Amino acid sequence: MKQLLLTSLMLFFLISCGGVKKTQEALNMGNYGNAINTALKNIAENKTKKSNQPYIQMLEEAYKKNTERELQQIAFLKKDNNPANHEIIFNGYQNLKAIQERIKPLLPLKLYDENRDARFTFKDYDEEIIKSKRELSDYLYNSATALLKTGQNKEDFRKAFDQFSYLNEINPNYKDTQVKLEEAHTKGLDYVQVVMINDSEQIVPNRLEQELLNFNTYGLNDLWTVYHTNALENIKYDYEMQVAFRNINISPEQLTEKQISKEKQIKDGYKYATNPNGEVLKDSLGNKIKIDKFKTVKCNFYQFTQLKSVEVIGNVSFWDLHNQQQINSYPLASQFVFNHVYAKHNGDTSALEEDMVPLLQLSAVPFPSNEQMVYDAGEDLKAKLKSIVTRHRFN
pLDDT score at 290: 87
Within 8 A by CB and 6+ apart from 362, the residues are 340, 341, 342, 343
Question: How many Å apart are CA 331 and CA 313, to the nearest integer?
Answer: 8
At 105, the amino acid letter reads P
Do 73 and 92 touch, CB atoms closer than 8 A?
yes
Total-model pTM: 0.73
| Domain assignments of the chain as residue spans, ordered by start | 23-123, 132-188, 194-265+294-395
Walking along the chain (395 residues) 10 residues at a time, the average pLDDT comes out as 42 54 94 96 95 96 97 97 96 98 96 95 97 97 97 95 98 96 96 94 89 81 88 94 95 97 88 83 85 91 98 96 95 96 95 95 96 93 92 82
Exposure of 77 in the CB half-sphere (CA atoms within 13 A): 18
Is residue 313 within 8 Å of 248, Cβ to Cβ?
yes
C-alpha torsion 372→378→379→382, nearest 10: -160
